Amino acid sequence: MWVGHGQPPAFDGVQLDATGDLYHYLRSYDVQVSANGVNYTSVASGTATGANEVIRFAPQTARYLRVLPLEGNPSTWSIGEINVCAQSAPLPIAVNGPTVTVTGTSPIQLEYLAFSGTVGQVLHLSTLSAPSNVNQLIRIYRPNGELLGEREMSNSYPALNDYSGDWFMDPLPETGTYLIRVEYYDSANTYAFSLTADQGSTATPTPTSTPTHTPTPTASGTETVIYGDALASDWLNWSNSGTFNLANAAPVQTGNASVAVSFTSAWDGSLTFKTFSNPVTNYESLRFWAHGGASGASFTFYAQNSSGTNSPFIDLSAPANVWTEFVITKAQLNNLSNLARLDWSANGSSTSSTFFVDHVRAVMLGGPTVTPTPTSPATSTPTPTPTASGTETMIYGDALASGWLNWSSSGTFNLANTSPVQSGNASVAVSFTGAWDGSLTFKTFSSPVTNYDSLRFWVHGGASGASFTFYAQNSSGTSSPFIDLSAPANVWTEFVITKAQLNTLSDLARLDWSANGSSTSSTFFVDNVRTQ
């Protein structure tokens, strides 16, 4: 199907109207343009959402246009009308600017509205009026034509799924002309919604004092700073649903500024740093400091790579009135290939009380990592007695320390396995019964560890890699948060879990590596379990 114009017009969209035949419409398409009718260039391809489809693309000036069907179409399809159209002038949406109200009416409402957006702006769409029990389907497209997000909005169903009168989007990823597609079905009534944009609940001013940390994410020795007095170059503040001040003057852990965070409430709020162009690719751990404010703070941390793959979710707590460093190893992040998004989200224990984050950085390969140099079995045999060696208290090293018991259940556990070992002469071979079934457990009634900053252990994933959930318990029976971990196959990986990640347990009387939903019966290995 092609259209030929007498003179080359300027256009940036085509409408495929098959509303006379609501089933036999073109399901997938490729839109192409040509100056001579011979050599065509594709400008848009995708999947139609209905019988009346408007396709937007970068502005074109061409005499010929054709639409080709792709795979997945019905054996017969039809088009009642094909309309070539030019985009209207963008709506002026400014940061913290006035509300723009959009209205319209028709029997079948399908309308495209353009607006000029700036990278980092947070869009807020709010339903002002809509016919009773009729939902607006709103889609927003990036300047390159990709779908940025969609949502059904209504003033009638505020509590059902994503039916809501308000939509706070993630910050815009780029500067350019965005497109809003509005669709709803009604006989005569008018819809209306407001559109505003801002920089989040609290705009981030530029620090007036000279920062200690450069905001450029270049390696300083062995670190890549992501936040130090300011976000690194090419990193964006994507925080939402709360108040976030990235130039907070006090308290600070180092330098001249920290991030002050106030979630809206439990499960509602997220401090988010995001980059599209500069992910951290070479790292062994992610480190940051958190100050719990006057009341202490609880939150869930996760990371995401540039492909959109998430790490496990890690529940953390920061004690009140003190700075605590959190060290999250690459293995705890499921060995993400890079770091492109960092997220501190409200969980069920979060409140609106303000806490603080500072000195967020990735420690790179070859730097001051937590990996000790393995020694040969002939020169190093860890003592099984839980006395401090320098700054360490050994819990398992070739054998369980005195006073510690093997409380493991539902699986096979060999505490004298000879190969592989990380150091010394033996390791623990672990084979769970299956998913959710099995636990390697070390327990003491007489010798809990009371003086520690972190718990450290090594895991070898065996032939297939291993997934498990770790938690600790003190002598009063209080448990730490549950931390999902994964160990790569055929290599030893050290896990470092700070006291803060263990909810600052007063002592360590039980350590538990339990099967979770991703666990299998394949054997993996644990060694060199100690506190520092």
The residues spanned by each domain of the chain are 2-85, 91-198, 219-363, 388-531
Residue 239 DSSP code: -
> What token pair was written down for 159?
């509590």
Contact 311, 304 (CB under 8 A): yes
Cis before 251 (ω within 30): yes
> What token pair was written down for 3?
């259209």
For residue 135, the tally of other CB atoms under 10 A from its CB is 22
> What token pair was written down for 211?
């920062």
Q: Of 378, 360, 140, which is closest to residue 254 (Cα–Cα)?
A: 360
Contact 211, 229 (CB under 8 A): yes
Residue 228: phi and psi, rounded to 5, are -155, 95
219-363 sits in which CATH class?
A: mainly beta
Which residue bears the tokens 């106030």? 262
- Residue 95's pLDDT is what? 40
| Cα 119 to chain centroid, rounded | 19
- Residue 477's pLDDT is what? 87
Helix and strand totals (H; E) in the chain: 0, 40
- Residue 329's pLDDT is what? 84
Domain 91-198 coded CATH 2.60.120.380 = yes
Q: Per-residue pLDDT for the chain (532 aa), expressed as one digit of tens each?
A: 455 555 666 777 777 777 555 566 777 788 888 888 888 888 887 777 666 676 767 677 888 888 888 765 555 667 767 777 655 455 544 444 444 455 444 433 445 566 777 777 766 666 555 555 455 667 777 776 666 776 665 544 333 333 345 566 666 777 877 777 666 544 445 555 556 655 433 333 223 232 233 233 333 347 899 999 999 988 988 888 889 999 999 999 988 999 999 998 888 889 999 988 889 998 988 999 999 999 989 999 999 988 888 888 888 888 888 888 888 888 889 889 999 999 999 888 899 999 999 999 998 754 333 333 232 222 223 333 333 344 789 999 999 999 999 999 889 999 999 999 998 999 999 999 988 889 999 999 898 999 998 999 999 999 988 999 999 999 988 889 888 888 888 888 888 888 888 988 999 999 999 998 889 999 999 999 999 8
Let me know if 218 is exposed, middle or buried by CB neighbors in 10 A (0-12, 13-18, 19+).
exposed
Task: Give one DSSP letter per residue of 249-268, joined into a string.
Answer: -SS-SSSS-EEEEEESBTTB
Residue 332 DSSP code: T
3-class secondary structure per residue, 119-152: CCCEEEEEEEECCCCCCEEEEEECCCCCEEEEEE
The sign one gets for the Cα dihedral 102, 107, 109, 111 is negative
Contact 384, 399 (CB under 8 A): yes
- Residue 484's pLDDT is what? 85
2-85 sits in which CATH class?
A: mainly beta
Residue 99 DSSP code: P
d(CA 190, CA 331): 54
Let me know if 462 is exposed, middle or buried by CB neighbors in 10 A (0-12, 13-18, 19+).
buried
- Type of residue found at 357: V
d(CA 174, CA 345): 24
d(CA 441, CA 508): 12
CATH of domain 388-531: 2.60.120.430
Query: What Å distances lie between residue 249 and 197, 346, 488, 496, CA to CA?
Result: 26, 23, 41, 31
Strands (E), 130-238: 136-141, 147-153, 166-168, 176-185, 190-198, 219-220, 223-227, 235-237
- Residue 190's pLDDT is what? 53
Residue 313 DSSP code: P
CB-based contacts of 86, cutoff 8 Å, min separation 6 = 9, 10, 11, 12, 13, 59
d(CA 72, CA 282): 41
CB-based contacts of 459, cutoff 8 Å, min separation 6 = 331, 466, 485, 487, 492, 493, 495, 524, 525, 526, 527
- Residue 19's pLDDT is what? 59
CB-based contacts of 299, cutoff 8 Å, min separation 6 = 263, 315, 316, 317, 318, 344, 345, 346, 347, 350, 355
Domains 91-198 and 219-363 share a fold: yes
- Type of residue found at 112: Y
d(CA 222, CA 490): 26
CB-based contacts of 419, cutoff 8 Å, min separation 6 = none
